[in-house]
Amino acid sequence: MQAVAHNFWTPGYAALMPAGRPTKSTRPSFGERLVLARQQAGLTQQQLAERLGTTQRVITYWEREPVALRADQLAALADALAVSADFLIGREASTKRGNGPVGRARRVLETVSRLPRHQQQRIIDVVEALVAHTAGDERA
């Protein structure tokens, strides 16, 4: 068996990867997202491999088999495809908390927002009057 040169991208299993055979098995979810990102970037496996300094066979393997990439590999892959690492690993983007009300106040305001406009306006008038009154009490 011929020795395989190992570098940043070439895992020890590179010599065992299939060459040019269409896959009959379903891709792992990472592989599906990798294919989608690569196609959206308009890249072939070979072009992506060249950007990363690896071989097309490695990209094929990543798309077809369950893999565990190192953090630096995942970051370079995300950069090359102009996507987030979160996208590649299938993690939903975290939702940033807005500046609006939380808890009970949010629930009440969401309920109010579903009321007809004329009822919303009456509630807003009452709330504004209470806020103005409370603000006046704090100044005194």
For residue 110, being part of any structural domain is answered with: yes
**Residues of the domain holding 112:** 103-139
Q: Per-residue pLDDT for 77 more than 80?
A: yes
Single pTM value for the model: 0.52
For residue 39, being part of any structural domain is answered with: yes
Any idea what the CATH number is for the domain that residue 77 is in? 1.10.260.40
In sequence order, which ranges of the chain are alpha helices (DSSP H)? 29-40, 45-52, 56-64, 71-81, 85-89, 103-113, 117-139
Residues 61 and 107 in one domain: no
Residues 83 and 108 in one domain: no
Residues 47 and 113 in one domain: no
pLDDT (tens digit, 9 = 90+) per residue, 22-70? 556 688 889 999 999 999 989 999 999 999 999 999 999 999 999 899 9
Q: How far apart are CA 13 and CA 122, in angstroms?
A: 70
pLDDT band at 83 (very low <50, low <70, confident <90, very high): very high
Residues 16 and 52 in one domain: yes
Residues 21 and 79 in one domain: yes
